[in-house]
Structure formats: structure tokens, C-alpha cells
């Protein structure tokens, strides 16, 4: 299976279990790896035979900026399901980063990574 990756998609969201996270919001970062067969697109040099990653990126940002959820696990699941709706995408790996998570000790990042497939 071939891979198309998008790294570092950034959007402001209002996700979290604490009131201040819902009120103030914060930046979330999303990485995606889409699994699909790119041979038909490459053979015909045809965008319609692959995934349009620009559209996927816009949809992901829309999900992050959209309806708030408590958990980044839920956010990752919503993103994965949206990606799998694209024709040809057989599998997706989604990492949601929450670099400003409410943790009281020094840290670099909090990340949830999930893999989903049509099968």
C-alpha cells in the first residue's frame, strides 16, 4: 500500500475536559498518513484517481475547529472516519498533538495516535 502523508496541520480548537480549555481554546496539531494505491493516478497522471490532500487538509482543520469534544482520542477518531470516506483511502493513521495540554510538569507534547482501516 502506498502512503500520502500530511504533517503539522494546525488549527485552534476548544477540546478538553476543563472549562478553561473549552473557553480559551488552544492549538492542536494533526499528522496523517493515508494508505491507498497510487498506481492508477500515476499511470494516468490524474488527480481524480488519488486522494486530494488539499481537500483532506481542509476537512481535518474543519473538524479540529468544529464541535468540541472532551478527549483527543475522540477527535482522532472523527478525523480518521472523515479520511476513510475518501474514495481509494483504505487506511489512515492519525496523530493528534496537544502541545499545551493542562499538565503541571514540564513536557514537550501529548499525542494520541490511532490507525483505522476500511477492513
Residues with catalytic annotation? 98
The DSSP result for the chain, as a single string, is -EEEEEEEEEEEE--SSSHHHHHH-EEEEEEEEEEE--HHHHHHT-GGGS--HHHHHHHHHHHHHSS--S-HHHHHHHHHHHHHTSTT--EEEEEEE-TT---SS--S--EEEEEEE--
Amino acid at each position: 500500500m502506498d502512503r500520502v502523508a500530511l504533517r503539522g496541520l494546525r488549527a485552534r480548537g476548544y477540546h478538553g475536559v476543563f472549562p478553561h480549555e473549552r473557553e480559551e481554546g488552544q492549538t492542536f496539531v494533526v499528522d496523517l498518513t493515508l494508505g491507498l494505491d497510487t498506481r492508477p493516478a500515476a499511470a494516468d497522471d490524474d488527480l481524480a484517481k488519488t486522494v486530494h490532500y488539499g481537500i483532506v487538509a481542509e476537512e481535518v482543520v474543519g473538524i479540529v475547529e468544529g464541535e468540541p469534544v472532551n478527549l483527543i482520542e475522540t477527535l482522532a477518531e472523527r478525523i480518521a472516519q472523515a479520511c476513510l470516506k475518501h474514495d481509494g483511502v483504505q487506511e489512515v493513521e492519525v496523530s493528534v498533538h496537544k502541545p499545551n495540554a493542562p499538565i503541571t510538569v514540564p513536557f514537550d507534547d501529548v499525542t494520541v495516535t490511532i490507525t483505522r482501516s476500511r477492513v
